[in-house]
Amino acid sequence: MWLIVKALISAAVIVAVAELSSRMPRLGALLLTLPIISILAFIMTWNNEHDIATIAKLARETLVLVPLGLPFFVPLALSDRTGLSFWSSFAIGVLLASVTIGAWFRFGPQV
């Protein structure tokens, strides 16, 4: 039952951001920058584990991985200037983020 509740909450957040973004991009971006998913993940992990060490590890990894994922947005943000289509920009963004995050997993410290 709890798994269904978690899935419904996550889906509602994604739908809300998608709907709001089409009408008010700045407000949609604000919702995207808020750590809503992180907050939900911390609460759900705490409810499952009740282990502060797990939460601390998750928070530390998130602190590192959020900036490493930011290259994803660069091609999308510049797509209107570069003439790239959505899917081209999206693919390049996924590639850039994959490279930065992959490098961290390969060469970063093991936790």
pLDDT at 42 over 80: yes
Mean pLDDT of 95-106: 96
Q: Encode pLDDT of 45-65 as tens digits.
A: 999 989 999 999 999 999 999
Question: What DSSP line would sit under 29-79, residue for residue?
Answer: HHHHHS-HHHHHHHHHHHHHH--HHHHHHHHHHHHHHHHHHGGGHHHHHHH
- pLDDT the model gives residue 96: 98
Can you give the residue ranges of every domain in the chain?
A: 1-50, 64-111
* Predicted TM-score of the model (pTM): 0.74
From the CB of residue 96, how many other CB atoms can be counted at a distance below 10 Å? 17
- pLDDT the model gives residue 111: 64
